[in-house]
Structure 1
Amino acid sequence: MSQQTVKSEMQYRLLVPMLPDDEVMPGMRFGREDELLTPAYWAMRCAMADTADIDFVNRHGTLEEEIGFCLLGGFGVTLEVATAFFERLRTNGTFERGAVIPEADLFAMLDEPAAVRGRPHRYRFPTQRARRLHRAMADLAQMEFDEDDPIRFRDQIQCLEGVGPKTASWIARNWLDTDSIAILDIHVLRAGWVLKLFDKNCRLPRDYLDLERRFLCFAKNLHVRASVLDSVMWYDMRTFGSNLTREDLVA
């Protein structure tokens, strides 16, 4: 066992002094860290996660780049595909402050296949995202943001076309490095369903704020950062979700 692993385990023991039968939320026992997808499992993952895998904070780019990247991602577009097309658009000046590339030019860049892991991939929504990117970059030139208030900042971001609560939260968390909001997508929802943290009948974006409130309470009770928790949930459920949620593993 490496010294880093020993150090992480010591930090975990100190930060989470809970017993398996302790309640994290009403009716939800802490469990054991070797029981998949229990609160104890997620607390352990937060304590021992590799920061290279979970640090999505924008430390070097611009707000235009952050918004552009998040608009390119989301439902139906993998991280790898979004990254490939983002790099093409950035190289062609799309996200330079004050630049408003014509919608037709954005469409042409999104409609041409891009290489992802050595193979050509098409972008699924070139018409829709070209329009949203064009309007977002034009609107940004006229907007001023309150970066001292993450909730207000998120509300302001939602004024952009095509930006719902999840995308706005994604942008706000990455730009402000805040734990007062959470990024809730299908991967985090699935983890929450297994925990019985979220009701199976919940829907996004309709129930976003209620789900976020429960998620933030869960993170607080685990004594972990909400931004780390949603990151490790997203990473594990995206990578292993179909296996981790098998009924014989989580029953």
Structure 2
Amino acid sequence: MQLGAIFMDRVVFNVELPKAEAEVIPGVPWGAMEAFPTPAYWAYQVYARRLTGNRINYKLGATLKEEVGACLLGGHGIPANVGVAAFHHVRARGAFGDEPPSEDMLLEWLLEPLAIDERKVRYRFAKQKARYLSAALQKLSVELPPLANGKELRNWLLDIPGIGYKTASWVARNWLDADDVAILDIHILRAGLLGNFFESNLTVERNYLELEEQFIRFSKGLGVRASELDALMWLEMMSSSATVHSIMGMGHQKSESAARNRPKKRKSNPDQLALIG
């Protein structure tokens, strides 16, 4: 058994986790609680944030339209602070009211410079995102989205141009606080590879649903909510990119060293192959 402590003022809470060699799920050991980024480390960090009231607030909008807009304007190729700034910029101009603005109007707003940290920044992909956001707001204005669970909302959102599994899952997790979906990006993928709970031959682009299933199974093994774990992993992996690259680099070097030291295969003799066949 591993014992950790969480300090709150004068109160100390003890956290007990299984021993390092025990398995969270088949083939995945808990690892040491203090070692980033082991499964035990993630479990401890989730519990610590719960007890201290420091859970990550991942909801971005006050309405579903706003949440869709915020997630659409962020994502791949757009720094988080730029995506959030673009969302606040178009919201201030009335993008998420009852009457959706035209695509041209959205484009005009997105082409305006954004003020970030006392400097002016241009939003990338303005024309593309204006088209996607216009289609999303039109759909949300005339249709009633299913809100029973994360997967139903995600599947409904997938019909919108420019919204794939990651963005749709992001909206569903944020808006419904859903634990039946996962937001899988490069940070979560790296966490899964380092923690050995993702199969290394799967990619987010081709195997999103398989990886999502593995992530949710892993979170259940830890005894934590998938939504909490996803948000925490993303924040820490993103904030510790140098450490992550160093760890992954060492793993790559070990793999190359093992490959170099592996006995070389003898060249096959065609006659022997014929005999085997």
The Cα of 1:100 is off from its aligned counterpart by: 1.9
For each residue in 1:121-170, what CA deviation from the matched residue of structure 2 results, as whole angstroms up to 9, or x when unmatched? 11111010011111111111121122113211210111111111111111
Superposed CA RMSD in Å reads 2.2
1:89-104 matches, within 5 Å, as 89-97=90-98, 99-104=99-104
SS at 2:162's partner residue?
coil
Give the distance between the partners of 1:53 and 1:71, measured in 2 at CA.
24
Unpaired runs of 5+ residues, structure 1, are none
Give the distance between the partners of 1:47 and 1:138, measured in 2 at CA.
41
Tell me the amino acid that sits aligned with residue 55 of structure 1.
N
Q: Which structure has the higher relative contact order (CA within 8 Å, separation 6+)?
A: 1
Number of residue pairs matched by the alignment = 245
1:27-176 matches, within 5 Å, as 27-49=27-49, 52=54, 54-57=56-59, 61-97=62-98, 99-176=99-176
For each residue in 1:5-54, what CA deviation from the matched residue of structure 2 results, as whole angstroms up to 9, or x when unmatched? 776742x32xxx31111011222211111111111111111111365561
The Cα of 1:205 is off from its aligned counterpart by: 3.1
Give the distance between the partners of 2:249 and 2:19, measured in 1 at CA.
21
Query: What's the TM-score once normalised by structure 1's chain length?
Result: 0.90
State whether residues 194 and 245 of structure 1, in contact with CA within 8 Å, keep that contact through their aligned partners in structure 2: no
State whether residues 150 and 179 of structure 2, in contact with CA within 8 Å, keep that contact through their aligned partners in structure 1: no
Q: Which runs of 4+ in 1 moved over 6 A?
A: none
- Percent identity (aligned): 37
CA, structure 1 residues 30+8, in 2 after alignment: closer, same or farther (shift >3 Å)?
farther
State whether residues 193 and 200 of structure 1, in contact with CA within 8 Å, keep that contact through their aligned partners in structure 2: yes
Relative to total residues, which structure has the larger strand share, 1 or 2?
2
For each residue in 1:177-219, what CA deviation from the matched residue of structure 2 results, as whole angstroms up to 9, or x when unmatched? 1111111111111111111222333222321110010000100
Query: What's the TM-score once normalised by structure 2's chain length?
Result: 0.82
State whether residues 166 and 205 of structure 1, in contact with CA within 8 Å, keep that contact through their aligned partners in structure 2: no
State whether residues 113 and 120 of structure 1, in contact with CA within 8 Å, keep that contact through their aligned partners in structure 2: yes
State whether residues 9 and 48 of structure 1, in contact with CA within 8 Å, keep that contact through their aligned partners in structure 2: no
State whether residues 46 and 228 of structure 1, in contact with CA within 8 Å, keep that contact through their aligned partners in structure 2: yes
Residue range with higher mean Cα deviation, 115-124 or 200-209: 200-209
Unpaired runs of 5+ residues, structure 2, are 252-277
